[in-house]
Structure 1
Amino acid sequence: MKAITRTTLSSIAALTLLISGCTAITDGVRPEQQSASQNLNDLECTPESLLDPNGAQRFIVDWNDGDRASLEDEMYQGVALVKYTCEGMQVLRSCAQPGDYGYRASNSQKTQTMQIADAISAGANFSSPTAGASFQAVFDQDRALNLAYVMVGSRTTSVKDISRAAIDRAACQGATHFVYQTQLGAFKMASGEKGHAATAAEVFGYGDADASASSSREVLSADGDARACAYASPGDADAPQGCGALMRVSILPITN
């Protein structure tokens, strides 16, 4: 819908961007790749370690669709509250506080792949410090998690602090943090051969890369359409349709 309402020149530019973006992925161009198992220490999770005044930034690609939808609903109502413990991050429903979120488009699309090779790495990157247990069956088979994502923008609230005294609903008193920012785009996570630097094409399943890798790849989680993200531009007032999946959150602690 967005591309149709623009001028003919803008439509041609968007189509060109879409084609070039898909070609780059199909040809197997590797975006910046990260190894999530580098330089990580096996640190024990404690409640104190989760209360850093600077908050935390975590991928939520390990959440199910219902949990991500609940976060979207809470952010539509106001500033979302979460309970963040060593067991994981939980959205508190019907607990949104006064405030809203504004969208800011990225200056350029950010496409990356990341391989998570062990439970420690999963706990360091996903929504729960113990998230690795959920994927232990994958790691036990000497396989890894390959995450590919395209980030086109973020939603950020102007709220800097929320005090516990301001939370008047009893069911919401268990909140430990509020969602300060979410990063938007598209992602797919699949299991794959450990040590193989998968391209975005292999993980997203584009072109010839899909046929060559499909027999050894199991999709574990996905949201958004990476091809729709090709329509994103720095002047956008919102993420392109199909490219607004919540991928990563930044949370700040509630003050006492």
Structure 2
Amino acid sequence: MKPTTLRAVMAALRKPETGCPWDLKQDHQSLARYLREEAAEVLDALAAHVPGDAGREAHLCEELGDLWLQIAFHAQLAADRGAWDLHDVEAGIVAKLVRRHPHVFAEVAVAGAEEVLTNWAAIKREEKGLHGEEPRLLEGIPASLSPLEEALEIGRRCAKVGFEWPDLEGVLDKVKEEVAELQAESDPIRVEEEFGDVLFSLMQWARKKGVDPDVALRRQMLRFRARFAHVEDDARAAGGWEARDLDQMEAAWQAAKKKGAP
């Protein structure tokens, strides 16, 4: 009888002697790369997702399943050594969510989303047993975050203690200021520093505006790929890239935009 749950499938794949040779060879470290890859593919699926579009919905569902597989795989490794299993993973996160949402599961009143975040942070500190002097504000940021994610997290943490622009225009002014400083530089080291300042300021503008820069960049690259495909098709029809100069390629690009290429 074939297994019908992911937990049962993983147990069968990892069963000594009768399981899959490849699956039996894996450990937490060897699986790390697949976890990163699957998480990235979920983010790509989210960037391309269109609610209600059957194909995009199915793609997102499939990619989330692939990510879930990685979680189940790690849980099975732990179960094999008698440490914990997939049920413990679920029980742990359920308990944490209930504990951190007293306004839903207990009699705690909140005025809005901001107060929810404040309570969440306080409960989290209590869970970690932080008494007396707290660690520095920017300590404990996961090293595995991408530079974009780390820049956003730094901004979020500083904003929580009031180190923040009072309005969106202030952030945009800072972006313009940093761009002007970048344009004025010629020394390679200073150019790199000023470019970093521009990127960091843009991340904070996105955070304050409510734009996810990772999603925005992924969608921009999808649009670029689609439009550049038109430029490439035009060049192929003309006999190759050598038959097209920059003005002609730009014309093909603009034509693609007018046609509504993503």
Structure scoring higher RCO (CA < 8 A, sep ≥ 6) equals: 1
What is the TM-score of this pair, normalised by structure 2?
0.19
What is the TM-score of this pair, normalised by structure 1?
0.19
Structure with larger Rg? 2
1 or 2, which has the higher strand percentage? 1
